[in-house]
Amino acid sequence: MNKKSNLNLHFLLILITIISWNIIASQYFFRIDLTEDKRFTLAEQSKKVLQNLDDQVYVEVFLDGDLPAGFKRFQKSIREFLDESRIYAKGNIQYTFSDPLADDNEQVRQKYFQQLANRGLQPTNIFTKENGKQIEKLVFPGAIISFKGVELPINLLKSATGSSPLEALNQSEENIEFEIVSAIKKLSEKKLKRIGFTEGHGELSNLELQDISQTLSQNNKLSRINLLKNNKLNSNLDLLIIAKPTLPFSDSEKLILDQYIVKGGKVIFFIDKINASLDFLENGKTVAIPYEFNLEDLFFKLGFRLNQTLYLDLQSSMIPMVVGMQGNQPQTQLMPWLYYPVFTHFSAHPIVKNMSAVSGKFLGSIDTVKAIGIEKTPLMFTSKYIKEIQVPAEIDLSSARKQPNPQEFSKGEQAVGYLMEGKFKSMFTNRLTDSKMDSIQFKSIDSDSKIIVFSDGDLIRNDVSPDGKQTLPLGYDRYVRKKMANKDLVLNCIDYMLDNSGIISLRAKELKLRPLDKQKTETERTKWQFINVSLPLLLLLLFGLAKVYFRKKKFEI
């Protein structure tokens, strides 16, 4: 075989190989993610949600145009994730990137901003440097996901309290997969989850639960539950929420709760053990006294105990106080109110990972007790600078004017919220007659279950105007005019309790920050510029000389 035939054969083999690889690649999709933190790899839970889509999902991301470098990287990560998702969704995901600031007409822009706000997206002010000057810009770091005519807005910019701008963007990148996939899952679920709020024990009213209820009702079926009229909770309910009761439960209701949990029912408790409120001040004073719920023995069996104490926290919110008079007009000033803690310490559990600050009111203390087979995970903590007081105790509004003694606030960080998982044992074992056990199909121990308990009932409560006609967003502090992350906390808890697919675990994804040493890059800038420019040229020169040398040697006689 001559040389020309060999070349033709090699060319033909190469061509056949290329065509074969293309045919295989079109039939079987695979990628290799060589990054240490697997940032380009979708979780199995995400793939399952995307593969089960039976219609088009439309994603409009409002993050385009002239953006700072950090947001450009964030935008690129969102685009890469959506590109990856389209493959697993078999083309059932379409997306666009929009710039809300694209129109030069200020009036048109403001109208568009209002439309976005009405659809559930809120703008964020960011500060960036351009030509040595600090410039403020408005961005809408969110997206609206549509499926079968139903829209769901999501906020893609997330950050824990105290994070730097770089860390905030990194945390937001970690949450891209969870935020988008969980929204798609909620929209594409064919069966609505059933969530019940107990009533009949002085729980929060519909008005006080309005904000969280409006959000949940978009993708769930909500109802008020009278325990005595719904004794078959396990077949009618996916989640039960007990939101700040103030009156006792009967023994019959306690038995219903016990069996609901033992048989696999899930419950979230937002409970104040202490009756204290600024609404009942008389001459600037009130007395904090404990509530009696008739649930203390049930709580103990479940693995926790609510104590008759209050925490005062130096890391607190503020309330307006009259500090003097100017003529006939009282002068008010915001003063720290130590009974209103601000929570910024959270565990690494997916429910609370990268959580922003959460606000509380009149926080009680909680302890865990021994419960065999139950795994207890703390979720939220006070600051290190707290003080514990026993009740009954007098609460005096004038104490806000006094400088606290730091030495009294030395109890240390305390958990105020727990997740408990496992097979719970009934507290009614060997306490019921045979006929009663048969009538309710009593179980001493049965199925795996989950409960979450917070020793602050106000975490889920949105403020209501004094006339009872208007409500504020959940977590909004009307005095400092700042929205806290109470709603995110409640929604994450509910997502975890209802999530059988493990989507909430995506919040545990962690991307490592690898920032450049700014001082080192500044001092060694010239050296690395020289290396980057000269080294490729040097290598190219050496390669050329080597080729000439070996070619000359090959043809020497």
Report pLDDT for 461: 96
CB neighbours of 403 closer than 8 A, spacing ≥ 6? none
CA torsion, ordered 327, 333, 337, 341, to nearest 10 deg: 160
pLDDT tens sequence across 459-503: 999 998 877 778 899 999 888 888 899 999 999 999 999 987 778
Residues 449, 235 contacting (CB under 8 angstroms) = no
Report pLDDT for 423: 96
pLDDT tens sequence across 235-269: 889 999 999 999 999 999 999 999 999 999 999 99
Mean pLDDT check: name the lowest of 33-37, 163-167, 315-319, 454-458.
33-37
Q: Which has the higher per-residue pLDDT, 525 or 241?
A: 241
Report d(CA 405, CA 314) in Å as an integer: 10
Report d(CA 444, CA 297) in Å as an integer: 16
Residue spans per domain, the chain: 38-188, 193-508
Report pLDDT for 128: 64
pLDDT tens sequence across 24-36: 666 655 566 656 6
Which DSSP string do the residues of 387-455 spell out, in sequence order?
EEEESSEEEEGGGGGSPP-GGG--S---EEEEEEEE-PPPTTTT-S-HHHHHHTT--SS-S-EEEEEES
Q: Which has the higher per-residue pLDDT, 5 or 77?
A: 77
Report pLDDT for 258: 96
Exposure on the CB side of residue 91, measured as CA atoms within 13 A: 0
pLDDT tens sequence across 383-424: 999 999 999 999 988 888 888 998 999 999 999 999 999 999
Which of 345, 317, 484, 476 has its CA nearest to residue 417?
Answer: 345
Residues of the chain with pLDDT > 70, as a percent, come to: 89
Q: Parallel, antiparallel, or unpaired for β 93-97 and 57-61?
A: parallel
Question: Looking at residue 463, what DSSP letter applies?
Answer: P
Residues of the chain with pLDDT > 90, as a percent, come to: 46
Tokens of 237: 């309910």
pLDDT tens sequence across 52-67: 888 999 999 998 888 8
pLDDT tens sequence across 295-317: 999 999 999 999 999 999 999 99
Fold of 193-508: Rossmann fold (3.40.50)
Phi, psi values for residue 387, rounded to 5°: -130, 140
Is it the case that residue 166 has pLDDT exceeding 80?
no
Is it the case that residue 3 has pLDDT exceeding 60?
no
CA torsion, ordered 230, 232, 238, 242, to nearest 10 deg: 40
SS (H, E, C) 187-213: HHCCCCEEEEEECCCCCCCCCCCHHHH
CB neighbours of 472 closer than 8 A, spacing ≥ 6? 211, 462, 463, 464, 465, 478
Residues 277, 339 contacting (CB under 8 angstroms) = no
Report d(CA 465, CA 211) in Å as an integer: 14
Helix 165-188 and helix 69-88: axis angle, to 10°?
Answer: 30
pLDDT tens sequence across 541-554: 888 888 788 777 77
pLDDT tens sequence across 112-159: 888 888 888 888 877 666 555 666 677 888 899 999 888 889 888 876
Report d(CA 211, CA 487) in Å as an integer: 9
pLDDT tens sequence across 427-441: 999 999 999 999 899
CA torsion, ordered 248, 251, 257, 259, to nearest 10 deg: 170
Q: Strand, helix or coil at 301?
A: helix
Mean pLDDT of the chain: 86
CA distances from 119 to 70, 77, 150, 556 (A): 26, 24, 12, 79
Report d(CA 508, CA 520) in Å as an integer: 32
Domain 38-188 has CATH 3.40.30: yes
Is it the case that residue 364 has pLDDT exceeding 60?
yes
> In which band, very low, low, confident or very high, does the pLDDT at 516 lie, cut at 50, 70 and 90?
low
